[in-house]
Amino acid sequence: MPSPPRKPTTFLIQAFDLAAWPVVLFGEGNAVRYLNAAAEKALGVSRDELFDLAAKYHGLGQLPKALQLVSDLCPASNVWLGEVGTREITLVADETTEEIRWQGIFYPITDQPDTDAVALVRNVMVMLAPPERIPNSGPLQPQEEIHATLQALRHEYRGRYAVSHLVGISTAMIRVRRLVDLASQSRVPVLVIGQPGTGREQVARTICYASNHGQAGPVISIQGELMDAEIMQTTIRAFVRRCLDEDETKHASLILLNAEKMDLGAQSELLHLLDLIDIDLRILSTSSESLLALARRGQFREDLAFRISTLEIELPPLCDRPEDIPYLAQAIVEELNVPSDRQLQSISADAIDRLQQQEWPGNIDQLTEILTTAHEVATGFTLDVTDFPVDVARTPAKKVEAKQAESIDLDAALEAYEREILIRTLKAAKGNKTQAANMLGISRARLHRRIEQWGLE
């Protein structure tokens, strides 16, 4: 007796289950409705954990693992409007697995059209393929290219506070990211310098949490302007006791905000405590200007300035890097998508032009405030000028002169930074080479090679 015929959907599911490449099906509300065995392997998560999860259009890595994985695959709004889409996607199944880059192809599945012009998209199929197997997929749309760039940055900087304030294609931000990398690989004290609103604290925390493969030890954060000698002593000693009691003395960090606002008593007490405490305490500070410059003007203790600003990272003001605004704005919009039912895909070209015409005295914080307001009132998938607050929407156009590209030899610049860091570290360690090597996170032999190379004996 012949077996009863199977439904077409059964054959289709079997075909997908046997497919070598990952396949994921999204339904209404960006909810996962199906994934095959290859997708389970690529994502490193079982289908039961992902089924019915609603993806967010967000590439910046602040979500739980399963939700972030499906959000990496989230279809853009233009796909839900009926367009086939592509973009590069980076996946990491677990902490022991290397990154794998895929080319994602997004296919809208439409209903029978109600009219000649209208067909509803109720499902989107996402197929992942090796990039070399899809050589003719064509260029990405601008907003998808920016989205893919943000995802790549997130995988490069996996720290808890990593991406949004390190975004940019300008030479200044490339330099900042290289220095963040350098700082994350050692225990040297770091001073992050910048105007209010440039993200000084976020960058300091990025370094803190990006160190030691994202496994930050105990962290304390204090405000310089709130410290006098007594409060400084009480706060630091209590933190050290907690670290000792909980046996968490490794990788402890102090984040000192607005270091330039500490009074002289607090400065003296901090310097005294750093010589007394018996744990390896890493110092990450922020300031509106170089502490060494303040010391030269007699406005800060020179010995403490050298002690806590071995490596200086200067954040550029937003008005000096208009070319970064499309990336920063997209990053902020995607962050706003996370807690919201609104899932904006992009920002219109006119809106970007308007943002680039602003003066930005409040830097990234001001940009965030404007985009937060616009995100709340936007009615479509794309944020436009009409969604901005009135004072921004009506800003008269101004001529933005193109800046001549800055030429810089990054390798030479980093070698100069490394030399300066070594000199400052040796001074902070009072010439003790073993202590200096430990602070820098390098071997004593490597330290000696550098000292000989640069003639620092």
pLDDT for 96-131, tens place per residue? 566 788 889 999 988 766 555 656 788 999 999 988
Whether residue 343 is predicted with pLDDT greater than 60 in this model: the reply is yes
Q: What is the mean pLDDT of residues 66-75?
A: 88
Give the separation between CA 434 and CA 447, rounded to whole angstroms. 9
Give the separation between CA 235 and CA 231, rounded to whole angstroms. 6
Portion of the chain with pLDDT greater than 70, in percent: 83
Q: What is the predicted pLDDT for the residue at 402? A: 44
Higher-pLDDT residue of 358 and 427 is 358
Q: What is the predicted pLDDT for the residue at 11? A: 72
Residue 280: left if φ>0, alpha if ψ -120 to 50, beta else—which one?
beta
Whether residue 296 is predicted with pLDDT greater than 50 in this model: the reply is yes
Higher-pLDDT residue of 416 and 172 is 172
| pLDDT band for position 400 (cuts 50, 70, 90) | very low
Higher-pLDDT residue of 4 and 445 is 445
Q: What is the predicted pLDDT for the residue at 266? A: 96
| pLDDT band for position 80 (cuts 50, 70, 90) | confident
Domain with CATH 1.10.8.60 in the chain: 318-393
Q: What is the predicted pLDDT for the residue at 370? A: 95
Tell me yes or no: is domain 8-139 CATH 3.40.50.1820. Answer: no
Whether residue 268 is predicted with pLDDT greater than 90 in this model: the reply is yes
Q: What is the predicted pLDDT for the residue at 405? A: 47
Choose which CATH entry (3.30.200.20, 3.40.50.300, 3.90.1010.10, 3.40.50.2000) describes domain 185-315. 3.40.50.300
Q: What is the predicted pLDDT for the residue at 213? A: 56
Lowest mean pLDDT among 305-309, 348-352, 390-394: 390-394
Whether residue 326 is predicted with pLDDT greater than 90 in this model: the reply is yes
Residues 91, 102 contacting (CB under 8 angstroms): yes
Whether residue 434 is predicted with pLDDT greater than 70 in this model: the reply is yes
Q: What is the predicted pLDDT for the residue at 62? A: 65
Q: What is the predicted pLDDT for the residue at 338? A: 85
Domain with CATH 3.30.450.20 in the chain: 8-139
pLDDT for 185-232, tens place per residue? 888 899 999 999 999 998 998 888 776 655 667 889 999 999 999 999
Q: What is the mean pLDDT of residues 3-20?
A: 71
- CATH class of residue range 318-393: mainly alpha
Portion of the chain with pLDDT greater than 90, in percent: 40
Lowest mean pLDDT among 157-166, 248-257, 352-361, 441-450: 157-166
